[in-house]
Amino acid sequence: MEYRRLGTSGLTVPALSFGAGTFGGRGPLFGAWGNTDAREARRLVDICLDAGVTMFDTADVYSDGASEEVLGQAIRGRRDEVLLSTKSGLPTGDGPNDAGTSRARLIRSVDAALRRLGTTHIDLFQLHAFDARTPVEEVVSTLDDLVRAGKLRYLGVSNFAGWQLMKSLAAADRDHRTRYVAHQVYYSLVGRDYEWELLPLGRDQGVGAVVWSPLGWGRLTGRVRRGAPLPAGSRLHTTAEFGPPVDDEVLYRVVDVLDELSRETGRAVPQLAVNWLLHRPTVATVVIGARTEEQLRQNLGAVGWSLTPEQLARLDAASARPAPYPYFPYERQEAFARLNPPLRPAA
């Protein structure tokens, strides 16, 4: 396993992390993802640790807290061998303080996560979404207090816009509070929006990317093909509406190149898609998931080798999309381009 620094922090994380969204299996969305129990989860954790995957990511909304509970049971007796990453901020109930990142909600959420995980501290705690109702000063001061109390070690966010993250970092710097060092983001060959604003921001501010859904919400498994119906067992039948939108023509163009590279390299399509991400700037770790041992072992095969520059360039070209405003002038007009480095970063 390859290991990387998380942003400019001192924390070293594996290039691949395991996402525990399949643990627990409560509710229509997460039930479709998987319903791994504690015994099965412990076996998956065993395989991860044997492969050097030491970071496990979950959230309080995953199966109404059951994912955290199952993960806590699966790592029991080996807490010092793992890094625990969890998230909070999305609604977990109908009460007025059951959503968001107010001081009251954050303190309650962290204590509840610690109980479910069966631990005294969380290695990486991330805000699952930006809460526009709560001042960023309240959020960063509360998180800083929780770090000082020893309950949290490192802080991050997820699904923030560029201005939201930058405003939060500025508040932390101004008030001498603990900074965010991670941004858990959607990034894939069929979803490269991260590159326009968040990647340059992360590179400038030392915020590492923790990538979720590297296979485009299950579209880059190798089973979705042009002119063919969705496979019977695909979770896209029940979860597509919850995930990121993907242009079908872009998807099929990318899959065509992945198929070519699969024949050239002998690697599976999902392995190729993840390996491409590992060459992208700011990416600290890619979160992989699995419902079965077979799926997990295949996903673990995404490391230990590299695509060639020529192969990476083919994937870059197949997955490229026109730049949105205000970014397209910097790609199309020399006067703009002279003022800034390329918006599409080289690996």
Catalytic residues: 62
Structure tokens at 101: 């990142």
Closest of 94, 55, 51 to residue 75, by C-alpha: 55
- Cα four-point dihedral sign 185, 191, 195, 196: negative
Closest of 227, 276, 274, 231 to residue 251, by C-alpha: 227
**Could you give the angle at the alpha carbon of 152 between the alpha carbons of 203 and 60, nearest 5°?**
90
* Residues 216/222, Cβ–Cβ less than 8 Å: no
Closest of 295, 235, 283 to residue 47, by C-alpha: 295
How far apart CA 57 and CA 71 sit, in angstroms, is 9
Closest of 143, 68, 152 to residue 105, by C-alpha: 143
SS3 call for 242: helix
Place of tokens 């080996």: 78
Structure tokens at 307: 């695509």
Structure tokens at 180: 């965010």
SS3 call for 209: strand
Structure tokens at 127: 């805000």
